Amino acid sequence: MCCARTDNVNQWDWAVFRDDSVFKEDGAAVAACRPYIPGSYDHPPRNIVDKMNSGYRAKEWQGYVYGLEPALPTGILPELYWKNLCKLVKGVQIIQQRTISQEQVIEAQQYLEEFHLEFEAIYVRRQANRIYFVRPWLYSAWTIECTVGNLGEEIKSHSRPYVNLTQCSLLRGQINAIEAKLSERQKVRQISLKVQ
């Protein structure tokens, strides 16, 4: 990660991976976990040292950050930063569940708000020259990768793939619109039943 001219990398006590041996040790630990992650998981993270700048997929980053990393940097990452990471992970793990209760939504919101405020305080430190630390998160890339992969699988005509892809995209958009309308009608119906 580059440093602004008005900042100093040596003041980043959280940048533990500056030491190449620590980064390699972490990458080896990630690779060692791979056999224990179920194959149905989609794409378990590989050794980040080997793939970070060439082909580390969004799903791998997701598994690395939200699955493995909270357990791996114990003793490597200073406790203040590790606890902050754990709040992010806990909040994200709650909201990624298939079903979620209202109490869990409130709990997730609390963890994510605490993470956000602490992140600004301990990493950005309210310094304008560190605003680039706050970047869009992983899900935007993962959603695009997933959509492109799904649409690619639907292409049946190899002689006219773009025409076929356009038709698949149009059909998917129409189905999504119908599902949204049906969902909207169900909500209105539920509200009207409660009022009666």
Place of tokens 């580390």: 56
Would the pLDDT of 173 be above 80?
yes
pTM of model > 0.85: no
For 131, residues 6+ apart whose C-beta sits below 8 A from its C-beta are: 124
How many angstroms separate the CA atoms of 32 and 34, rounded?
Answer: 6
Q: Which long-range contacts (CB under 8 A, 24 or more apart) does 31-38 make?
A: 33/68, 37/63, 37/67
Contact 23, 52 (CB under 8 A): no
Mean pLDDT to the nearest integer, 86-100: 92
Domain locations along the chain: 9-137, 155-195
**What is the predicted pLDDT for the residue at 81?**
92
Mean pLDDT to the nearest integer, 163-177: 84
Note the pLDDT tens digit of each residue in 23-58. Answer: 898 888 888 988 888 766 667 888 888 877 777 877
For residue 36, give Cα distances in angstroms to 47, 62, 67, 68, 175: 14, 17, 12, 11, 38
Note the pLDDT tens digit of each residue in 99-146. Answer: 999 999 999 999 999 999 999 899 988 888 888 787 655 556 667 777
Contact 63, 143 (CB under 8 A): no
DSSP state of 57: -
